[in-house]
Amino acid sequence: MSTENEGTQVPPAPSAPPVPVDTPAAPAPTADTPSGPPGPEASARPEPAPAGEPEHAPRDAAPEPATPQAPAAPPAPAPQIPDPYAHTTGTHAMGTPAPGTHATGTHPAAAHAQAPAPASVAASGGAWPPPPPPAVPSYAQGGGSGWGTSWTAEQPSAPKPGGRRRGGLVAAVLAAALVAGGVGGGIGYWAADRNDDNSTDSTTVSASDAPADLKREPGSVAGIANKALPSVVTLEAQSGSGEGGTGTGFVYDREGHILTNNHVVASAAEGGKLSATFSNGKKYDAEVVGRAQGYDVAVIKLKNKPSDLRPLALADSDKVAVGDSTIAIGAPFGLSNTVTTGIVSAKNRPVTSSDGGSSKSSYMSALQTDASINPGNSGGPLLDARGAVIGINSAIKPAESGGLGGGQSGSIGLGFAIPVNQAKNVARQLIKTGQATYPMIGASVSLADASGGAVISDRGATGSGPAVEPNGPAAKAGLKSGDVITKLDETVIDSGPTLIGQIWTHKPGDTVKITYERDGKERTVDVTLGERKGDS
């Protein structure tokens, strides 16, 4: 792998089912109604019921004493004559209530209690109330239900069955809803008003101001970051011509050595300027101690180092497992002290990278992570859940379209880190001698992408000379040009860069088992790794 760096409709009010007429209650005398038997005039118009009287008297209510009468015939429809009292009912010409009022000046819910006594019964002097009429709904006779008596008197014919009662029921339902809405609105206003009286203009909720209430465990991301940040630096490298960039590093030891990537400090290696800034803002000049371009590792040293340096602990990267938590710290796009998290997505990922400044590439068998890594994170530590370093963030796989506006690409969750075990070995060599040693098999392989293995070339790396060095490790093991190496120990090899990256996880003098194919046959051979000093 080559990398770079919606209201539902309101249903109509239900029609009321036919209701048998109950025996109406006797109207109570009022202040303007004389006591005694009602005269003809009194029987011609209804008397309004007292406010709050129920729609019907209870079925078991005792009737007033009266001489028993034979059952009366069903009442005839009221005569169609003008109602002399219509001017008192607040109706329009056709009996509909005036806007904003009820027909009788009472609440719609009480309208059913205001039907007049049948005229035939009153004229006969019979007792009131009469026995129940045949089971015919009163609203089928046009008698006094719905909005009131004025409606019946003013109509040229009896209303259609159910017409007015439905209107009365709907009105009652609507009125009840309005009352309920008014109550709810009042309660809501009251609650809001009380809330406004006891609070500021804001309705947000504040957390406790006591810092002691908030505890961060040492093993939490916050705890690890708090401990590690003082040991991470932002590096600024500048070449002699003024070109340069920003990267990251971390304290390797108490002597002032900082571990980072080669491509971070390469521009300052030859007569340039280099500085390191800690999380507390203190800035120190630094110098390059050694670089290993093939490994993409470098060591620099602080000038006038502080006395309170705290090196980060180094973990055993060989023991890392896919799925382990990771924490990356660095200066992406120059944003120092940035902390991101993720997991180990894969191990032994073959990665070929380049700083773009030379024809030579770096090869690694990398730890892959989805922790956000961006330009500027290079050289920073990749930590495990304990806060120990498991790798040096080095490369990312950018989106093919590049960055926003054609600028630098950002993280798409594919970041790669040099395993710290390898970086540690290289750092020791650089501190000791200024250069690194590379294990080798003494054979050139094709760097073209392939899936079948690493093919030993037919000529040397420079384009001339033999591909297999005479008396080198590969030659001694019997390897030849054209052989296809498919495995190194238990690791499958699919290309030349993969082979190089795997070899560089070892040390010179290690013996490895190589599986290769020749003439369609698979063979296995042990190879003792040789050594190459420096990047030349």
> Nearest 5°: CA angle at 242, between 376 and 333?
15
Residue type, 343: I
Contact in structure between 118 and 75 (CB atoms under 8 Å): yes
Q: Which of 263, 384, 394, 411 is catalytic?
A: 263
Closest CA to 363 of 416, 310, 301, 406: 416
The Cα 443–Cα 475 span in angstroms is 8
Distance of CA 278 to the CA centre of its chain: 34
208 is annotated as an active-site residue: no
Read off the tokens for 258.
Answer: 């900082």
Residue with tokens 């760097």: 447
With b meaning 16 or more CB within 10 Å and e meaning fewer, what string describes 457-494?
beeeeeeeeebbbeebbbbbbebeeebbbbbbeebebb
526 is annotated as an active-site residue: no
Distance of CA 88 to the CA centre of its chain: 66
Q: Which of 378, 444, 446, 457 is catalytic?
A: 378
Distance of CA 6 to the CA centre of its chain: 22
The Cα 169–Cα 507 span in angstroms is 96
Residues 6+ apart with CB under 8 A from 336: 234, 277, 279
Contact in structure between 83 and 153 (CB atoms under 8 Å): yes
Q: Where are the beta strands (DSSP E) in 321-388?
A: 325-330, 338-353, 362-369, 381-383
Beta bridge partners of 418: 392
Taken in order 267, 268, 269, 271, the sign of the CA dihedral is positive
Beta bridge partners of 325: 343
Residues 6+ apart with CB under 8 A from 281: none
Contact in structure between 382 and 393 (CB atoms under 8 Å): yes
3 state SS of 246: strand
**Taking the CB of residue 253, how many other CB atoms lie within 10 A of it?**
14
Contact in structure between 426 and 297 (CB atoms under 8 Å): yes
> Nearest 5°: CA angle at 153, between 151 and 158?
80
449 is annotated as an active-site residue: no
Q: Which of 43, 112, 138, 296 is catalytic?
A: 296
Read off the tokens for 157.
Answer: 């014919």
Residue with tokens 């290309």: 495
Catalytic residues: 263, 296, 378
